[in-house]
Amino acid sequence: MDRRLYGALVAAPAVAVGLYALYAYRSKKSLYFWFNVPYSGGRGTFRGLFVKARNFIYRNTIQDRLWNYIEARSEEGNADSVLAAFDDYCYNYEWTWAIGDKKAAILAKVVQEAKPKVTLELGTFLGYSAIIIAQNMPSDGKLITVEANPKSAEIAKKIISRAGFGDKVTVINAFSYDVIPNLHHDYDVETLDMVFLDHFKTGYVADLQRLEKGGFLHNGSVAFADNVDGEGSPGFSEYIRKSGHYECQFYEADVEYFAGVSDGMDRGIFKGADMFSGETLGL
Catalytic positions are 198, 201, 226-227, 256
Chain length of the chain? 283
The C-alpha atoms of residue 46 and residue 117 are separated, in whole angstroms, by 40
Helix (H) or strand (E) holding 103: helix 100-114
Q: End-to-end CA distance of the chain: give it in Å, rounded.
A: 76
Q: Cα angle at 225 between 271 and 243, to 5 degrees? A: 35
Q: Is 61 exposed, middle or buried (0-12, 13-18, 19+ CB in 10 A)?
A: middle
CB-CB contact of 222 with 195 (8 Å) = yes
Residue type, 52: K
The C-alpha atoms of residue 160 and residue 229 are separated, in whole angstroms, by 28
Q: Cα angle at 218 between 174 and 247, to 5 degrees? A: 100
Q: Is 170 exposed, middle or buried (0-12, 13-18, 19+ CB in 10 A)?
A: middle
Residue type, 66: L
CB-CB contact of 94 with 36 (8 Å) = yes
Distance from chain centroid for Cα 232: 11
**196 beta partners:** 121, 224
Buried b (16+ CB within 10 A) or exposed e, 244-261: ebbeeeebebbbbbbeeb
